[in-house]
A and B are shown apart, each in its own frame.
Chain A
C-alpha cells in the first residue's frame, strides 16, 4: 500500500496533503512544536526583563507559518509583520540567532540592532519582520517585482512566489490597497496572507474593518484569486494553499488569502485582554493545530507514538533552552556598533557628530 493511501485512513475523500510523506509531516510537527516551545521561553525571558521593547507571541498561529512556508521553495522570498519569530524559525533561522536578537546581543540575526520585531535572515530569504503596520505589503509587492524581473528581464532566476504576511489590522492601511493594485496591475507573483486572528490589538475585526465577513471581495476587486483558508488544520492549509502557490508561480500573478487563525496570548506582552473571554480562547485551544496534526500522525498515519512524541518534545525543549543559554552568555554589541551599518558607503562629513563605519560581519552571513 502506498503511503498516500495509508495517510487517508478513515477519510474517504482524497486530499492533496495525502501525498505528503510522513517525514515531511513529522518535520512540520517538529517545526510547530519548536515555535511553541520557543515562544514559551520568549515570554519567560520577557517577564525576566531579558527581552525589551515590544514582543508579540505567535502561539496558536503556528500552522500558518509552517504550512505556508512548507508549501513554497526555500528561495521564494518571505516578508512579514512584527509577529515574526514563528516564521523566522519555520524558515530555518537558527533559534540561537532569533533568541539572541531579542536579547539584544551581537550574535542576533540583526546584531541586536533590530529586536523582536525585526527578524531578518538573508540566507533563508527572509526579508524581515516589519513594525509599522502594513509597511511590509508594498515591500512584498517589490520582492515579487524583483523576482519577476530577475526571471523575465535578467534571465537569471527561476519563477518565484513571494509570501507577504499581514495581520487583519493591516488590511485597513492604505498602503495595502496600493500594494495590491500594483501587484495586480503588473501581474506580480505575490501572495498576501492575511493572518486573520480576529483582532487588531484590542479591536475585533468587525469593529475595525467594513464588510469584514467578506474580505475576499477586496482581493477580488483587483481580480486576484482570493481564498479563505481554515488555518487551524495544517493539512487543510496545504490542500488549499499549495495549488494557489503553484498557480501564482506558474502564471506569475498575485493572490489573496483570508487565513483564519487565532492567537492564544495577548497582542503584546502588555495586554490585559479585556476585549475577549477566556471561553473564547479555550474554544480555539480545543482546536489546537499542533494537537490536530499530532492526532492525525498518531491515529491515522500511525507514524509517531506517545514515546517518540515525548522524545521529540524533549529534544526541542533542549534546543530552545540552549538558545536561551547561548543568548544569556553572548556578548553585547560593541559600543562602536552604534555608528556602523548606517551607510553601505560611509563617506566623511555625513554627520556633524561622528564618522560612520562598516560594521562587523553579520553572524548569519
Chain B
C-alpha cells in the first residue's frame, strides 16, 4: 500500500475496529505489566499499518526511558522507532505536519509535564486542524506519556494535564487505570482518525494484570463499572480509580457498598453511565487527580447537575489534588494527592 492513499480527515476512509464484537475476558492468567500492554497495542497497530511510527526522547536505542518501547527498535527499525532530541515543540509540531500529510504518528512525551513546551502545536494546531481547514486536513496523531504526580518529582514534573487540556474541542482524551484497558484503549486511539491525548502514569507502568494476547479495541466513551454498590457513586479515571477501589474495599468492611465508575475516556465522557448510577445511589463523588478549579471534576458535576439534579440527595462532592503546586517532600506530596483515606472519608461524610 502507498502511504498516502487514505484521507485522514474522513472516517469513511479509515477502517474502524468492529466495536460490536464483545471484548475478550478480563480474567485469565496471561499476566503482563501495564508498560507491556501499551507496547503490544502499539506494535500490533504498527504491524497492521505502515503509516504508524513512534517518536520521542529515548524511545529507540535506550528502549524507552520507562521501557514502554523496549524491543520495538529491533522489530521496526530506526525509520519507525525514532529517537528525538529534547525538542518537544519541534517534534510534536513535526508530527502534526506529518499527520496532516497522512502519516499516523505516535508521539511519546517522557512526561506530559514536558508537553507544555509543545503547547502551541498540540493545543493550537492538532485539535483545530480539521476545523480550520474546513474539513480538509485531519490530524490522526496519538500523543502519549506519563501524567500525574506521585514520585516526589516536584512542581514542574508532576503535571496532571487532563483538566488543562480537555478544555480544547477537537481532541479526544483517554486515561486508562489498568493494563487491560491500557492495551484496548491505546489500540482504539491509534486506529481513530482524530487526535488522541493518551495519559499514562509512571506509577502504574509496573502494575500487572491479565491482558489478552489478541488485539482488542475498547470503544471510547464507555465507562466501566469497576465495582457495584448503592450507597454512593464514585466517578474517577486513571490512577485514582485504584484508590477508589481501595477505599471501596475498606468501606465494604463497614457495610458500605459503592459504585466505582472508571470513565476510561474523558472526552468523550460517558455521562449516561454516570447518570444511571446516580439515579440508583443519589450521591456522587468525583475523584480527580488534577486541580479543582475549572477542571474535570467541575465538568462532571456540572453535567450531573444539568441532567439529573432532582435525583441528588446530597450536594455533589469532589476529591481533587490540593489546590497548590506539587510539593516535593514525601509527607506533603501524600497529603496533596487524592488517596484512599481521603476518598473513604468523603464517602462517609456524604452518607445520611
Contact = CB atoms under 8 A, between A and B. Distances in A.
A174 B327 CA distance: 28
Interface stretch (A188-196, A234-242, A347-355): A347-355
Interface string B298-339: 000000000000000000000010111101111110011000
Nearest to B328: A115
A133 B330 contact: no
Interface stretch (A4-12, A150-158, A197-205, A246-254): A197-205
A172 B89 CA distance: 10
Given A113-B327, A333-B329, A342-B325, A131 B152 contact: no
B328 A335 contact: no
B271 interface: no
B87 A173 contact: yes
Contacts of B57: 201, 203
B86 A351 contact: no
Nearest to B66: A270
B131 interface: no
Contact of A114 (B83, B117, B322, B328): B328
B328 A337 contact: no
B332 A54 contact: no
Given A130-B156, A202-B58, A112 B323 contact: no
A285 B324 CA distance: 44
B323 A353 contact: yes
A130 B156 CA distance: 8
A52 interface: yes
A119 B52 CA distance: 42
B65 A201 contact: yes
Contact of A352 (B154, B157, B323): B323
A339 B83 CA distance: 40
B121 to A, nearest CB: 11
B114 interface: yes
A351 B293 contact: yes
A168 B312 CA distance: 57
A122 interface: no
Contacts of A338: 322, 324, 327, 332, 335-336
A353 B87 CA distance: 36
B328 A113 contact: yes
Contacts of B151: 52-53
B86 A169 contact: yes
A113 B86 contact: no
Interface in A241-300: 274-275
B61 A332 contact: no
A134 B86 contact: yes
B185 to A, nearest CB: 27
Interface string A57-101: 000000000000000000000000000000000000000000000
A174 B89 contact: yes
Contact of A208 (B85, B322, B324): B85
Nearest to B327: A113
A131 B157 contact: yes
Contacts of B90: 172, 174
> Which range holds the interface residue count of chain B?
35 or more
Given A113-B328, A342-B325, A203 B89 contact: no
A353 B322 contact: yes
A54 B153 contact: yes
A52 B62 contact: no
Contact of B62 (A110, A275, A333, A356): A275
A134 B151 CA distance: 22
Most buried by B among A53, A105, A175, A332: A53
A104 interface: yes
A314 interface: no
Nearest to A339: B324
Contacts of A310: none
Interface string B96-117: 0000000000000000011011
Nearest to B116: A132
A56 B335 CA distance: 26
Interface in A150-181: 169-170, 172-175
Contact of B292 (A115, A202, A353): A353
Interface in B109-145: 113-114, 116-117
Contacts of B154: 53, 113-115, 117-118, 131
Given A113-B329, A173-B117, A332-B329, A342 B83 contact: no
A207 interface: yes
Contacts of B113: 132
A354 B323 contact: yes
Interface string A196-234: 000011110001110000000000000000000000000
Nearest to A272: B62
A354 B321 CA distance: 12
B322 A112 contact: no
Interface string B59-79: 001100100000000000000
A257 B41 CA distance: 45
B114 to A, nearest CB: 7
A342 B155 CA distance: 12
Interface of A: 52-54, 104-105, 110, 112-115, 117-118, 130-135, 169-170, 172-175, 200-203, 207-209, 274-275, 332-333, 335, 337-339, 342, 351-354, 356
Give 10 closest A-B pairs by Cβ, nearest first: A104-B329, A115-B328, A52-B152, A172-B85, A53-B152, A112-B329, A202-B62, A351-B323, A208-B85, A131-B156
15 contacts: A53-B328, A113-B154, A114-B155, A117-B157, A118-B154, A132-B117, A172-B86, A172-B87, A275-B61, A333-B332, A338-B324, A339-B322, A351-B323, A352-B292, A352-B293
